[in-house]
Amino acid sequence: MNQQKQYISVLDIGSNSFHFILAQIKNNAISIIERERYVLRLSKFDISGVNIISIENFNNALEIIKKIDLTSKSYNSKLIIVATSAVRESENKEKFIEYIYSQTGHKINLLSGENEAELIFSGVLNSLNDISNKFICNIDIGGGSTEIILGNNEKIQNSVSLKIGAVRMSQQFFENYELTEQAINNCYEYLMTLLKANLSLNDFSFVEKFVGTSGTILTILELLKKNSIITQEENSFSYNHFVIIKDRILNAKTIEQRLAIPGVEVRRADILPAGVIILDSIFKSLKIKELRVSTYSLREGVVFAILNKSNKIFI
């Protein structure tokens, strides 16, 4: 960078939330100086797979983007907008993208599953210096999809994007976000079958570190701390620790019961059980004993891609 300081703003339009970061660039290093999260579930996932962004959510999204744009302009920062599965799978995505552009002048960069995986992995590698030379598996559970990425600091060896997100599974299996034993079992059966069909254990036999990212996994880490299952300083958790909080969440059959668990947020209490079941299924399928957690993910990966001119989308 020619300037001593520069700012990059990134908005990530996900299935459950709009995530915004403002990064300060100084001496080729980044620091995140602002983070915002706006809960907006753009489209409904159902068994038929037909997703439509409503007119109401066209306008809700516009209001969020206008607010974020004001913050970006106050720092003289360029705003980069990316979108993942909620927009990617919507039948009216072109109209949504055109509408936002016509109202704001901002282009929405629609990421493929491959683009998304590459950017998430870049964010993770740049956040955890002690794993940069190791072969890692990154697990990113979103609202609409889950990315599982294998690689090291040289390149991604393999990645898979699965249509199993916390919002999608909640709407597919848990009516009114209430849990029954049958619905829980059905969800587990569906996930384990899908994972078995898409993941080969042989590919993961030489993984040195499993790393988790994004909302579901960050939430679980915080719940483990707030329920005194792990210490405040820890940034990883074992499967045995995870099972303790998983059982508490799945035994809380209603949203109200889940809100009684210390640390459960109103804006995630409905979809949290599905997220926990997804993570549990991945733990079991890949025989993971411990999961490291990274606070950097897709949004930070976009910043590094712009900074290093390493991704053709942003060049």
pLDDT in tens, 73-91: 999 998 999 999 889 989 9
Domain containing 92 equals 5-113
Question: Is residue 137 domain-shared with residue 259, that is, in the same domain?
Answer: yes
The answer to whether residue 22 sits within a structural domain is yes
The average pLDDT across 133-138 equals: 88
207, amino acid identity: V
How many domains, the chain? 2
Q: How far are the Cα atoms of 4, 120, 247, 272 from residue 21, in angstroms, in the given order?
A: 20, 14, 33, 23
Residue 199 tokens read as: 């993941």
Question: Is residue 109 domain-shared with residue 181, that is, in the same domain?
Answer: no
Tell me the CATH number at 46.
3.30.420.40
Question: Is residue 90 domain-shared with residue 176, that is, in the same domain?
Answer: no
The answer to whether residue 140 sits within a structural domain is yes
The answer to whether residue 124 sits within a structural domain is no
Q: Does the pLDDT at position 50 exceed 90?
A: no
Lowest mean pLDDT among 13-27, 182-196, 221-235: 13-27
Average pLDDT value for the chain = 91
pLDDT in tens, 230-263: 999 999 999 999 999 999 999 999 999 999 999 9
Place of tokens 């949004």: 299
CB 236 within 8 A of CB 163: no
CB 271 within 8 A of CB 257: no
Question: Is residue 91 domain-shared with residue 217, that is, in the same domain?
Answer: no
Q: What residue ranges in the chain does DSSP mark as E strands?
A: 5-13, 17-26, 29-39, 78-83, 108-110, 136-141, 146-151, 156-162, 209-213, 236-238, 290-293
Place of tokens 């109202």: 103
Tell me the CATH number at 190.
3.30.420.150
The pLDDT-based confidence of 45 (bands split at 50, 70, 90) is: low
Question: Is residue 140 domain-shared with residue 276, that is, in the same domain?
Answer: yes
> What pLDDT score does 268 carry?
93
The answer to whether residue 171 sits within a structural domain is yes
Looking at residue 25, the DSSP 8-state letter turns out to be E
Question: Is residue 144 domain-shared with residue 286, that is, in the same domain?
Answer: yes
> What pLDDT score does 238 carry?
98
The average pLDDT across 58-69 equals: 96
Q: Does the pLDDT at position 195 exceed 60?
A: yes
Question: Is residue 171 domain-shared with residue 261, that is, in the same domain?
Answer: yes
The last residue of one of the domains, among 113, 141, 161, is 113
Q: Determine the 3-state secondary structure of 221 from DSSP.
A: helix
Question: Is residue 176 domain-shared with residue 237, that is, in the same domain?
Answer: yes
Most confident of 82-91, 272-281, 293-302: 272-281
Question: Is residue 197 domain-shared with residue 156, that is, in the same domain?
Answer: yes
pTM: 0.90
> What pLDDT score does 26 carry?
84
The answer to whether residue 301 sits within a structural domain is no
Question: Is residue 265 domain-shared with residue 152, that is, in the same domain?
Answer: yes
pLDDT in tens, 286-297: 999 999 999 999
